[in-house]
Amino acid sequence: MPSIGTIMRGREIGSPAKYRSRKYIWTRCPFCGYERWAPDRLVMASQRQCQDCAIIVSGQAFKVGKAQYK
């Protein structure tokens, strides 16, 4: 397992072809402690949390399709 702050390219961690040249950093969610690869541009922004914590913090759920219009 990489240490927090390790930076690698998408091709080294198995990203889809579209994102193979993007830089990723191993980071930890400040709320729950979940560790994951995140695009390095997000780590310095306020979006450091994982998707589950982002939903809780914002108070919104991600809705897809017709459900979002009801």
Alpha helix segments (H runs only) across the chain:
10-13, 40-43, 51-58
According to the model, what pLDDT value does residue 51 have? 83
According to the model, what pLDDT value does residue 59 have? 72
Task: For residues 30 and 47, give the distance between their C-alpha atoms in angstroms, rounded to a whole number.
Answer: 10
Domain ranges of the chain: 7-65
Report the candidate in 20, 17, 1 with the shortest Cα–Cα distance to residue 9: 20
According to the model, what pLDDT value does residue 9 have? 93
Q: Quickly tell me which residue has 């990723």 as its tokens.
A: 24
Q: What is the mean pLDDT of each run of 10 residues along the chain (70 residues)?
A: 89 89 89 88 68 78 58
Q: Are 20 and 9 in contact (CB under 8 A)?
A: yes
According to the model, what pLDDT value does residue 70 have? 54
According to the model, what pLDDT value does residue 57 have? 77
